[in-house]
Each structure stands twice: as C-alpha cells, then as structure tokens.
Amino acid sequence: MDKRMGVVSIIVGNREKDAGTVNDILSRHGEIILARMGLPCRERGLSVIAVIIEATTDQVGALTGQLGRLASVKVKASVV
C-alpha cells in the first residue's frame, strides 16, 4: 500500500483524564509521525494537537480509531 502525507487534528476535551492515554497512543504509532505540535489550553482544560504523518490508509485508520475511542477526544485526519 502507498504511504500518504497528512495531518491528524486532535482535540482532547479532558486533559487530566485522557492526555496520558493520547500520548501513549501517539508513541505506539511513532513510526508514522513526522512532526507534532500541541497547544495546552489550561484555562479551558483541553489540548489541541496537530500531528504530521506519512502513513498508509490502514495506519491512519488504526491511529484515528484508537484515539476516537476515548470519550473526550475528537479526531480528524486529512491525507493527500
């Protein structure tokens, strides 16, 4: 399968509860991550993360599926 470039946008609605799990998931998929930028919004209790990836569609689906199963996490992927 061909690898594609893309961006995965992640909003963690409950930083205290889910930030550690999000980081664990991202670490497990580290081979497809080229760059990561995050903005903690402490006053609102949430975080916004953008991850640049190079991956197959199956790898993108695995990453976004695991993140999307977390109750406070919203995730969207855009690949070209």
pTM of this structure: 0.93
- Arithmetic mean of pLDDT, 54-64: 97
For 2-24, the pLDDT digits (tens) are 999 999 999 999 999 999 999 99
What would the two tokens of residue 62 be? 């695995």
Taking residue 62's Cβ as centre, other Cβ atoms within 10 Å add up to 16
> For residues 4 and 80, what is the distance between their CA atoms, to the nearest angstrom?
6
